Structure 1
Amino acid sequence: MHAGKPSDLDEHRISISLLKKCRSQWGLKSSRGQAHTIDSIGPAIERVRKRFPKQGSHDMKQTLLQEEHIMVSRDLILQYMNLHHPDEVQVRKSRQLKRSTYWTAGLHDIWVFDQHDKWRRFQLFLHVGIEPFSGHILWLKIWWTNRNPRLICGWYCDTVQTLGAMPLVTQSDPSTENNGIANGHTMLRHLQDPALARTLQHKFKGQHRNIKPEIFWSQLRRRWAPGFEDVLDFGLNNGIYNPDDALERLVFHFIFIPWLQDELDRFAAKFNNTKPRFNMHKILPHGRPSDIFHHPERFTSRDFSVKADIHSLELVRQTYAPPDHSVFLLVPQEFFKQAAAFMKELNHAEITHDNIWDVYAELLMCFRSIEDEDHVQNIIATQPGVSGDGEELIGSEKMDVVDLPPYIEGAGCGVIVDASAGNNSSDEDSDFYDFVWTDEEDC
């Protein structure tokens, strides 16, 4: 239930008995009402574990509710896991966490971004945008590159357009793929507030000091990635998929990226609508990220967002993220049309964990049958080879940061190191607002 204003109670007052009656009529049962046992929840837990083999009881409870429509207590989940998977429970208990306290002035004071390359061997790359005051995920994307500043700026522009607002400042690590956001956000702020025209409205934080995305990637790797990584490794290790083969890579991207993006969207939605465990060290508001994001006033917080002018935003988009740029295409247009036609013939109603490699193999076979045709050969010939270590990744593009003085650190985003938690900063990170690496799930 949301923390509403006093007037909300007067306007929407309802008795407990009426609420129970309505819930019964709607078929909504509580954990006690569903009356699950260790045996009855077993099949659903195992289905979830197949996709998320390392989920803890907190995440498992939310996944069972959202995807299996099962309402069950964490105690019952823990009883099942201790009975059937005790080793996994002990591994999760043994994790050592470093705690630190994160502070930012309010909602939309800053947005933070980061890329993730742990799936490079599949030629898949991730990127995330986070509003750190609420912990709300702005976007969580998977694509065939994350090293193109125009692509990243495009995701920023999409988010600003959806929200109708932008933050005061943006922040990322110093990698060049984030220069598109640095330039685009700075241009947008300058167009709407000429008084800012002499400074870059973006902060670059290196040496693991862009802490919120780093924490998020740690959580994603632990809570979401393992099951999907097993699926991807199956194709790679069994010779079904060779990223060095341009045709196989195109088919793989066509099949896997939309499927994985849908799964990531589910994870982001669950993340945004799940209240983290209470953390006594946390000084930012406690609550569901989506509640804090959409109703900061209910958490005695201030919204610093700046309303975005649609014409200024369009000018920024055309300058730094033109929609007709090839980086926004999943695969070349001609290949997409042919693949869509083949998929219609194959008539797969749904792509799942269990059949995705079969779908990939069937689509690849269709393309192999026309591989010698000129239009297919032309498409393959335009595909770059997979880069080795130390080489530029596919889709990379250089973009310089606008020549302006850097953003001057003052009030805003940072970490207050909690010495009692045993996480003191080094001399190198002695600045009050510097970030300290942490693996704390609920920071």
Structure 2
Amino acid sequence: MPNQYKPTSPLDKITPHILCLWKAYQNDREIVRILREKHIDTEQSIHDAMIDIHQMYPKAGIQEVISLLFYEKNMSVSRTIVSSYFTIFKPELVRECKARCLKRRHFCAVSVNNLFTINQHDKWLRFGLGLHTRIEPFSGCFETVLDHGVNEGLYDVGNTLQNMVFRWVFIPWLQCELDAYHNRVNNTAKQHNRNKMLPHGVPSHIYDSPQDFNTLDFKVIIDHDGVDQVRKLYINPSHVVFDIVPPTLGNFIQHCYDQMGCPEVTHSSVWTVYRNLLSVLQLADNIPPTLLDETEPNEDDVPLLEGCSYLPFCKESNGPY
């Protein structure tokens, strides 16, 4: 019978380990010690992972941390352990939560595909990036990482070589982080709001099968063949706009990165990788040209339609396009 004061032991997970240790003639004390050290998550066993998570998500609550541990650290940790960790190591966040200083914000739509909010993050132009997304909370987490390099003088968006290396390192890493964020958020059930008549469940399940959650789907079905035809007519997959950096330079940077041993790029190492890679390129004698001559005509340029005018160009790095 489950103990009403303490969480029930995960017998289905630890029974095989107990049997293995018992067959190895370990006594009860040794079995408990080994289980605690290797097979049961405790506040201490998740400490390193929690430090890493809180560097990126300093205000993440218990439910979000459980999701982050599962999707980013491959750790399935009970709510009891995470709650106990917060009590021991993050008492200030617990106090803020109890004092209702941490406010949860809700956004409600009528139904699936009712509306889409598109946000172009002009504030990332100071890094030479334009993030087109519908995920506002994401950008806030990573602006701190991006600002660190700029504030430390590691990156000048006006320096061509630095800008090329920055793109080569940061854009693929940010895309991987976006993909991970997308996977985690869309596959994690949100906290149920009792004040709203909304479907409750995993967002991806609600989106794919709204009829199972007694809600409507306002999606407009379009002809995929027509979209493919338009794409073939107006989009050239080999256009330079789809290259993170010029191909010749990209191959050279990849060669230098391979010589460095292909260090892993994470939020804690991304600026170190960038700085070391930049140093290698600065010392190289055979670095290829980075940009085409701007005076050369571009055969892919499309003439301006009659009666139209060019959009104004803002020279400020933090202004609109």
TM (norm. structure 2) is 0.71
What is the aligned-residue RMSD (CA, Å)?
Answer: 3.5
Amino acid across the alignment from 1:220? F
Change (3 A) 1:300 1:96: closer
Find 2:102's aligned residue among 89, 95, 106.
95
Does the aligned pair in 1 maintain the 2:265–2:273 contact within 8 Å? yes
Matched, 1:254 2:168: yes
| Relative contact order, higher structure (CA 8 A, sep 6+) | 1
Larger radius of gyration: 2
The within-5 A match list for 1:145-294 is 213=134, 216-217=135-136, 219-220=137-138, 225-226=140-141, 228-294=142-208
Does the aligned pair in 2 maintain the 1:278–1:286 contact within 8 Å? yes
Find 2:252's aligned residue among 320, 338, 349.
338
Amino acid across the alignment from 2:178? L
Amino acid across the alignment from 2:62? S
Does the aligned pair in 1 maintain the 2:187–2:204 contact within 8 Å? yes
| Cα deviations by residue, 1:7-58 (Å, 9 ceiling, x for unpaired) | xxxxxxxxxxxxx87997799xxxxxx6433333323212222332221111
Question: SS in structure 1 opposite 2:189?
Answer: coil
Specify the alignment match of 1:65 in structure 2.
70
Does the aligned pair in 1 maintain the 2:125–2:319 contact within 8 Å? no
Specify the alignment match of 2:265 in structure 1.
351
The 2-side partners of 1:349 and 1:370 are apart by 19
| Cα deviations by residue, 1:158-211 (Å, 9 ceiling, x for unpaired) | xxxxxxxxxxxxxxxxxxxxxxxxxxxxxxxxxxxxxxxxxxxxxxxxxxxxxx
The within-5 A match list for 1:34-73 is 35-73=40-78
Does the aligned pair in 1 maintain the 2:210–2:217 contact within 8 Å? yes
Does the aligned pair in 1 maintain the 2:124–2:318 contact within 8 Å? no
Specify the alignment match of 2:126 in structure 1.
121
Aligned-pair identity in percent equals 30
Does the aligned pair in 2 maintain the 1:250–1:331 contact within 8 Å? yes
The within-5 A match list for 1:350-389 is 350-370=264-284, 375-376=288-289, 378-379=291-292, 387-388=315-316
Structure 1: which 5+ runs fail to align?
A: 1-19, 28-33, 129-212, 394-443
The 2-side partners of 1:289 and 1:348 are apart by 36
Does the aligned pair in 2 maintain the 1:335–1:379 contact within 8 Å? no
Does the aligned pair in 2 maintain the 1:100–1:281 contact within 8 Å? no
Amino acid across the alignment from 2:110? W
Does the aligned pair in 1 maintain the 2:125–2:318 contact within 8 Å? no
Change (3 A) 1:124 1:74: farther
Amino acid across the alignment from 2:242? F
> Higher strand fraction: Structure 1 or Structure 2?
1
The 1-side partners of 2:78 and 2:286 are apart by 58
Question: SS in structure 1 opposite 2:215?
Answer: coil
The 2-side partners of 1:26 and 1:317 are apart by 56
Does the aligned pair in 2 maintain the 1:342–1:363 contact within 8 Å? yes
**How far is the alpha carbon of 1:245 from its aligned partner?**
0.7
| Cα deviations by residue, 1:345-403 (Å, 9 ceiling, x for unpaired) | 22214222343223212322233235786x41644879xx994167554xxxxxxxxxx
Structure 2: which 5+ runs fail to align?
A: 1-10, 19-38, 296-312
Change (3 A) 1:353 1:101: closer
Change (3 A) 1:230 1:250: same
| Cα deviations by residue, 1:204-238 (Å, 9 ceiling, x for unpaired) | xxxxxxxxx4xx41x335xxx43x43432332122
TM (norm. structure 1) is 0.53
**How far is the alpha carbon of 1:339 from its aligned partner?**
1.5
Amino acid across the alignment from 1:359? V
The 2-side partners of 1:101 and 1:263 are apart by 26
Amino acid across the alignment from 1:271? V
The within-5 A match list for 1:291-302 is 291-302=205-216
